[in-house]
């Protein structure tokens, strides 16, 4: 069902209930709606219309109040009919300034973006780092950091670069570094990280070098290839970046202990949250999932609004998590604009 399938009166009353509940977190009564929104009909007519909307599954009665509250179905209909206004110049400038000072790495940019989104929306900002699994290795370089530590720099297709520390047992000669770098580039360049992990032993097993420490270094790559060529954002970095859960905790929906436990459970399970967000990364534009639309029942009180960003050929998602009672117009505009800013910075 769409807004066009409701009567004009039903549509106006439903919009009024949603706006009232988003603003106040209180169930909307007919007298309140008549007084605040000037619907042009009596409270009795509004009450009858609300009853019709309840029968159609758009409103429900909380057990503690005679007022009505929107259902997930109502929010979905409302979101699909929204014409989202652009951000003000002040909001755009504030976001630009925040992200411009984040630092040069993907991780720091995403962390600042998630924090800024959380503050501006009063929801929980969230970002998923790009996954390098499908990125194709163009070249590899090994740089000595100390006697027992090397830095491996992987330049991927499109110019994305990631760095990984490689621990060694003793000093590796410059000749050995050059030999191993040459072998790795000859055998691995032109393949994705996923392909490299799956075929590393096969590609390196007949590699030989006259240098003894080169053989030792090649053996490290054979033994630790699964970790060294992992597709995650960066060595030691969290794939999921969160803003401040405390911003959500101040909202009325999370005043009870049970609601707070559900919120903490959600934010503490990064692997689950990462899987959830990764599944949204192939949808262009804004993606919105409301309450019961989530496959996981732990999310049935939440709305997740995300947008895809680009880092060269790689993609990730950024957005917010909040209660279904969310100021959707503001949130959608902020998430959409932030995703474009992040893409510009990473490109």
Q: What CATH number should be reported for the domain holding residue 111?
A: 3.30.450.40
Same-domain check for residues 63 and 122: no
- For residues 173 and 113, membership in a common domain is answered with no
Highest mean pLDDT among 113-127, 162-176, 276-290: 113-127
H or E element, residue 108: helix 106-121
Say whether pLDDT at 237 is over 50.
Answer: no
CA distance 200 to 221: 8
- Residues 48-94: pLDDT tens digits? 999 999 999 999 988 766 789 999 999 999 999 888 888 989 889 98
| Angle (deg, nearest 10), helices 30-37 and 43-55 | 120
Task: Mark whether 339 and 242 lie in a shared domain.
Answer: yes
Q: Please choose, from the candidates 232, 315, 3, 283, the residue with its C-alpha nearest in 3D space to the C-alpha of residue 305.
A: 283
Q: What are phi and psi of 140, to 5 degrees?
A: -130, 140
Are residues 243 and 342 located together in one domain of the fold?
yes
Which residue, 205, 228, 251, sits at the end of a domain? 228
Angle CA 128–130–133, to nearest 5:
130
For residue range 287-340, list pLDDT tens digits in order: 999 999 988 888 888 999 999 998 777 788 999 999 999 999 999 999 999 999
Q: Which pLDDT band holds residue 347 (cuts at 50, 70, 90)? A: confident
Task: State the pLDDT confidence band at 234, using cuts at 50, 70 and 90.
Answer: very low
111 with 241, same domain: the answer is: yes
pTM: 0.76
Distance CA 167, CA 317 (A): 32
5 compared with 184, residue with greater pLDDT: 184
The CATH number assigned to the domain holding 210 equals 3.30.390.60
Mean pLDDT of 245-251: 79
Please check whether residues 212 and 288 belong to one and the same domain.
Answer: no
Tell me the C-alpha distance between 345 and 186, whole Å.
32
The pLDDT, as a whole number, for residue 133 is 77
Residues in the chain: 347
Domain finish residue from 162, 194, 228: 228
How many domains are contained in the chain? 3
With tokens 């209909």, the residue in question is 77
- The pairing of strands 149-156 and 161-167 is antiparallel
Whether residues 100 and 243 share a domain: the answer is yes
Instruction: Report pLDDT for 22.
Output: 93
Q: What is the CA radius of gyration of the chain?
A: 26
Q: Which two tokens stand for residue 67?
A: 């007022």
Q: Looking up tokens 């009665």, which residue turns up?
A: 61
- Please check the confidence at residue 257 and state whether its pLDDT lies above 90: no
Q: Is the pLDDT of residue 23 over 80?
A: yes
Report percent pLDDT > 90 for the chain.
42
- Region 248-271 average pLDDT: 74
Q: How far is CA 19 from the centre of its chain?
A: 26
- Are both 9 and 34 inside the same structural domain? yes
Query: According to the model, what pLDDT value does residue 235 have?
Result: 39
Burial (CB count within 10 angstroms: exposed 0-12, middle 13-18, buried 19+), residue 64: exposed
What's the pLDDT score for residue 2? 61
Are residues 123 and 142 both part of a single domain? no
Alpha-carbon distance of 45 to 303, in angstroms, equals 31
Query: What's the pLDDT band for 38 if we cut at 50, 70, 90?
Result: confident
Query: Average of pLDDT values for 178-206?
Result: 91
Residues 184 and 158 in one domain: yes
Residue with tokens 């420490």: 213
Q: In which residue are the tokens 């096969």 written?
A: 202
Q: Are residues 282 and 159 in the same domain?
A: no
Torsion of CA 242, 247, 253, 256, to 10 degrees: 90
Strand order in the sheet with 161-167: 137-146, 149-156, 161-167
Tokens 């007298």: give the residue. 31
- Domain extent, residue 24, equals 3-80
One domain, residues 191 and 278: no
Question: Which CATH number goes with the domain that contains 55?
Answer: 1.10.10.10
């Amino acid at each position: 069902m769409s807004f066009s399938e409701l009567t004009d009166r039903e549509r106006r009353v439903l919009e009024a209930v949603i706006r009232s509940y988003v603003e106040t977190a209180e169930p909307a009564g007919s007298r309140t709606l008549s007084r605040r929104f000037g619907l042009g009909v009596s409270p009795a007519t509004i009450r009858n219309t609300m009853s019709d909307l309840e029968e159609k599954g758009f409103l429900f009665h909380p057990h503690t109040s005679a007022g009505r509250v929107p259902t997930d179905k109502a929010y979905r209909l409302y979101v699909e009919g929204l014409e989202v206004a652009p951000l003000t110049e002040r909001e755009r400038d504030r976001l630009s300034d925040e992200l411009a000072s984040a630092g040069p790495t993907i991780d720091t940019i995403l962390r600042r973006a998630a924090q800024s989104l959380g503050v501006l929306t009063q929801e929980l900002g969230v970002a998923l780092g790009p996954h390098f699994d499908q990125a194709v290795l163009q070249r590899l370089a090994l740089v000595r950091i100390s006697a027992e530590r090397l830095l491996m720099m992987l330049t991927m297709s499109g110019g994305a670069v990631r760095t990984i520390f490689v621990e060694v047992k003793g000093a590796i000669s410059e000749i050995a570094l050059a030999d191993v770098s040459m072998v790795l580039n000859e055998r691995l360049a032109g393949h994705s990280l996923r392909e490299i992990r799956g075929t590393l032993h096969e590609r390196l097993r007949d590699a030989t070098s006259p240098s003894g420490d080169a053989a030792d270094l090649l053996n490290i790559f054979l033994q630790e290839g699964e970790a060294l060529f992992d597709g995650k954002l960066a060595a030691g970095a969290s794939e999921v970046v969160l803003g401040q859960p405390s911003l959500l905790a101040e909202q009325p929906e999370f005043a009870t202990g049970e609601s707070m436990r559900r919120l903490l459970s959600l934010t503490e399970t990064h692997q689950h949250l990462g899987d959830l967000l990764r599944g949204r990364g192939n949808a262009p534009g804004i993606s919105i999932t409301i309450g019961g639309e989530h496959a996981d029942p732990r999310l049935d009180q939440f709305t997740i609004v995300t947008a895809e960003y680009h880092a060269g050929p790689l993609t990730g998602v950024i957005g917010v998590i909040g209660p279904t009672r969310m100021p959707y117009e503001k949130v959608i505009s902020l998430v959409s604009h932030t995703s474009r800013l992040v893409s510009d910075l990473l490109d």
